[in-house]
Amino acid sequence: MSLKIFALNLGVYSVGKDQDFKPLGPGDKPLKGEVKLALNPFLIEQNNRLIVIDTGLGSFYRDDMTPDLLAKIAAHGYSERDITDVVCSHLHLDHAGALAHQENDYWELTFPDAVIHMSGRELAKVKKAQHDHQIEDYLSFLDARGTLHFIEDNPEPFEGLRFEIIGGHTEFSLAIFGRSGGAGYLMAGDVLGVRAHVNRKFAAKYDFDPGKSQEMREHLLKQAYRNDVYILSYHDDGSPVYRLTGWDEKKGYTIETAEHDVAI
């Protein structure tokens, strides 16, 4: 039994309503009216599996983020062919944009041997609502060439990995629960996108259903505290992996930062 979690930092960005990701340097503030978001795909060694959770913008970023993602994976000693599973917490492009990437104007699967886990209902919804030609192409390519596993068909594809549709951020956003031996993790996409969300009650304009997001946040945090699992926050700039080690009615949860790379 083994579990190792690596946060692959693909940079920090200023992001506004236009959804354009503008790179920020260390210590830079976001532009006026925008928020600062990091992108941290997670690489997880779990028993005999090698799992990537969320992928960054890939070819939907100015210079293509895919080479950087692959370099970060290579730094841990793995190639794209070693990845057995890719999970999409939801299908916004900053999370699911590098399942395939463009090479000489053709789409190629980024992780050719991986099963891609996502919500089938979310994919159907995104395809139906799509008017952008490049995104349409991308989704059709994935449908035709990717090994897609829709979590609605089987929410527990193998022992130690389980999905739940929690909604909130998007209608069919997922919570991802991993476990190996006595250790575990929770990744809930943008419902728990940054660590500062833990002790705040709020309704976010960027959510599909802000009330549901808050309800799920509270529920998942209670569960994570009770089960003592690591929480993975994709957009956190600084400490994307942490645990809840205490609770106080007034102060809320005590948060303990884990090293970026956690071996359990």
> Which residues sit at the interface with Zn ion, rule CB under 5 A?
94, 190
Kindly tell me which of 179 and 195 has the beta carbon lying closer to Zn ion: 195
Burial of 86 (0-12, 13-18, 19+ CB in 10 A): buried
Q: Which residue is nearest to Zn ion (CB)?
A: 190
AA letter at 201: K
- Closest contact distance (angstroms) between CB of 94 and Zn ion is 5
- Closest contact distance (angstroms) between CB of 234 and Zn ion is 6
- Closest contact distance (angstroms) between CB of 2 and Zn ion is 29
- Closest contact distance (angstroms) between CB of 105 and Zn ion is 27
- Closest contact distance (angstroms) between CB of 95 and Zn ion is 5
Kindly tell me which of 56 and 160 has the beta carbon lying closer to Zn ion: 56
Query: Which H or E run contains 186?
Result: strand 183-187
Query: Which H or E run contains 248?
Result: strand 241-248
Burial of 157 (0-12, 13-18, 19+ CB in 10 A): middle
- Closest contact distance (angstroms) between CB of 248 and Zn ion is 30
Cα-based distances in Å from 56 to 10, 59, 69, 103, 203: 7, 9, 8, 17, 25
Structure tokens at 108: 């190629």
Strands 252-257 and 147-150, sheet pairing: unpaired
Q: Taking the C-alpha atoms of 168, 152, 113 and 104 in order, what is their torsion angle to the nearest 10 degrees?
A: -60
Strands 115-118 and 85-87, sheet pairing: parallel
Kindly tell me which of 59 and 173 has the beta carbon lying closer to Zn ion: 173
